[in-house]
Amino acid sequence: MRKSILLAFILFVCSVKTDVKSCTRVVYKGTNGTLLTARSMDWKDDILTNLRIFPRGMERSGEVGPKSIQWKSKYGSVIACGYDISTTDGMMRRGW
């Protein structure tokens, strides 16, 4: 019952339109390590968001120069990309 009320509250908070000019985050820490996170991204201007889908096993790089860290992704992911430059949000198929 408490989880249902908390989830309803989180959804309500995230759906209310206000004049606040900042991002808002709500985190619920539940039993068995369960985490639920909701947030808003209240930007003044459109950041021209595009969605990208990355498969597992993709070769990746930090792209900050010749000594950037490199890795191979363990899980697939979906990201929101701002200005086609950086990841503003995203989620993986599974944990870390």
What is the three-class DSSP state of 81? Answer: strand
pLDDT for position 56 = 92
Q: How far apart are CA 87 and CA 79, in angstroms?
A: 6
> Are the C-beta atoms of 14 and 40 separated by less than 8 Å?
yes
Q: Where are the domains of the chain?
A: 1-42, 44-96
pTM of the model: 0.55
Q: Which residue has the tokens 């944990």?
A: 95
Catalytic residue among 8, 13, 20, 23: 23
Cβ atoms of 36 and 10 within 8 Å: the answer is yes
Count of CB atoms situated within 10 Å of the CB of 39: 12
Question: What is the predicted pLDDT for the residue at 71?
Answer: 92
Q: What is the pLDDT along the chain (96 residues), one digit of tens a residue?
A: 677 777 777 777 767 665 656 678 888 898 888 888 887 777 778 889 999 999 999 998 888 888 999 999 999 999 999 898 888 888 887 765
CB 49 within 8 A of CB 41: no
> What is the pLDDT at residue 7?
76
- At residue 21, the pLDDT reads 60
Q: 14 catalytic, yes or no? A: no
Measured at the CA of 47, the angle between CA 21 and CA 15, to 5 degrees, comes to 50
